[in-house]
């Protein structure tokens, strides 16, 4: 168990940038944390931290090993949890990458409910709006809708993500409604920054790609929805963000005959973590939370 507690001390020190803060986190003395890190450095034959009187910084070796160490500790914790008398209690540390808008609108409640059900489980949730390789960046689960795949990673589909064009009645009255996607080049467009200004549609004769010049770009879908409701332009946006506005008529669908290709929200999981009890339990929670609403 020495190597496990030494790795835990290393991770706590890396997370808090200090032996004292790490000691408080682990509920041990500062000298114990420092000793465990020193033992680990001696074992691998390289320093893990640049030490100064003000703070500790990861060395190149520390940066190289920290994500792998986190995975090793998570695997060991999962194994011990399964072997213990209380194997039904999840004990693990999950590091999760999630998209901003979807987390704010839907996933935050799912994460909270999951942790309430599993009080011994630690969650670290990082909001990132770009493709992430969970292996190289040290995540147990990377949630997103980008069509990227990575080696050593399993993609678990969570739910379809419907998108559409919409605008306020006031905007459509003032500027008119486009009849074809190519008409969008003459309209005020509101674009989701991570997917870019190339808007793709399914037409009667196949795919249509239009390059728009956005009046507003944002990586937060709620910003686009608010701007569209205010009459600032036509938004390409996820349906779940504007469902209420569509129902009450605050927003109107645009170009219904040219639907936006559907995306899938998926969870990218390192192969070595795919069968971890906490990972599988969280996937079930996410699917249950997302399928009825997206």
Give me the DSSP letters along the chain.
-HHHHHHHHHHHHHHHTSHHHHHHHHTS-HHHHHHHHHHHHHHHTS--EEE-SS-EEE-HHHHHHHHHHHHHHHHHHHHHHHHSTTTTS---EEEEEE-HHHIIIIIHHHHHHHHHH-TT-EEEEEE--S---HHHHT-SEEEE------TTEEEEEEEEE-EEEEE-HHHHHHH---SSGGGGGGS-EEEEGGG-SEEEEEETTEEEEEE---SEEES-HHHHHHHHHTTS-EEEEEHHHHHHHHHHTSSEEE-TTSPPPPEEEEEEEEGGGTT-HHHHHHHHHHHHHHTTT-
Beta-carbon contacts of residue 52 (< 8 Å; ≥ 6 apart) = none
Residue range 1-82 forms a domain whose CATH class is: mainly alpha
Residue 235 pLDDT greater than 90, yes or no: yes
pLDDT digits (tens, 9 = 90+) for 138-152: 899 999 998 888 888
Residue 96 pLDDT greater than 90, yes or no: yes
Indicate the pLDDT class of residue 84, thresholds 50, 70 and 90.
Answer: low
Domains 1-82 and 91-159+262-289 share a fold: no
pLDDT digits (tens, 9 = 90+) for 99-145: 999 999 889 999 999 999 999 888 999 999 999 999 888 899 999 99
Domain coordinates in residue numbering, the chain: 1-82, 91-159+262-289, 162-260
Identify any residues that bridge with 267 across adjacent strands, giving them in sequence order. 143, 156
**pLDDT, position 69:** 84
- For the chain, percent of residues with pLDDT exceeding 70: 94
In this prediction, residues 270-275 reach a mean pLDDT of 86
pLDDT digits (tens, 9 = 90+) for 143-178: 999 888 888 899 999 999 999 999 999 999 999 999
Indicate the pLDDT class of residue 85, thresholds 50, 70 and 90.
Answer: very low
Residue 1 pLDDT greater than 60, yes or no: no
CA dist 166 and 158 (Å) reads 25
Higher pLDDT, 275 or 258: 258
**pLDDT, position 17:** 83
Indicate the pLDDT class of residue 6, thresholds 50, 70 and 90.
Answer: confident
Indicate the pLDDT class of residue 91, thresholds 50, 70 and 90.
Answer: confident
**pLDDT, position 11:** 86
**pLDDT, position 81:** 60
Higher pLDDT, 69 or 123: 123
Report the CATH number of the 162-260 domain.
Answer: 3.40.190.10
Query: Which one of 43-52, 68-77, 165-174 scores highest in mean pLDDT?
Result: 165-174
Higher pLDDT, 53 or 221: 221
**Domain 91-159+262-289 is found in CATH 3.10.20.30:** no
The pTM (predicted TM-score) of the whole model is: 0.70
Higher pLDDT, 91 or 85: 91
Report whether 110 contacts 286 (CB < 8 A).
Answer: yes
């Amino acid at each position: 168990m020495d190597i496990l507690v030494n790795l835990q001390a290393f991770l706590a020190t890396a997370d808090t940038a200090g032996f004292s803060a790490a000691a408080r986190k682990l509920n041990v003395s500062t000298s114990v944390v420092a000793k465990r890190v020193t033992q680990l450095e001696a074992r691998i034959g390289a320093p893990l931290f640049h030490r100064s009187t003000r703070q500790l910084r990861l060395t190149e070796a520390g940066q190289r090993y920290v994500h792998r160490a986190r995975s090793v500790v998570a695997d060991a914790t999962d194994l011990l949890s399964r072997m213990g008398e209380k194997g039904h209690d999840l004990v693990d540390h999950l590091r999760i990458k999630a998209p901003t808008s979807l987390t704010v609108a839907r996933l935050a409640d799912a994460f909270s409910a999951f942790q309430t059900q599993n009080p011994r489980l630690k969650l670290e949730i990082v909001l990132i709006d770009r493709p992430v390789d969970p292996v190289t960046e040290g995540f147990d689960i990377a949630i997103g809708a980008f069509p990227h795949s990575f080696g050593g990673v399993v993609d678990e589909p969570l739910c379809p993500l419907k998108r559409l064009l919409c605008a306020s009645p006031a905007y459509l009255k003032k500027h008119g409604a486009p009849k074809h996607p190519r008409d969008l080049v003459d309209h005020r467009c509101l674009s989701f920054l991570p997917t870019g200004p190339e808007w793709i549609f399914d037409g009667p004769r196949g795919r249509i790609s239009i390059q728009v010049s956005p009046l507003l770009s944002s990586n937060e879908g709620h910003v686009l929805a608010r701007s569209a409701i205010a009459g600032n332009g036509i938004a390409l946006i996820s349906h779940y963000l504007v469902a209420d506005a569509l129902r009450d008529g605050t927003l109107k669908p645009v170009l219904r005959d040219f639907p936006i290709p559907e995306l899938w929200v998926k969870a990218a999981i390192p192969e070595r973590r795919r069968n971890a009890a906490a990972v599988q339990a969280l996937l079930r929670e996410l699917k249950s939370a997302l399928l009825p609403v997206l």
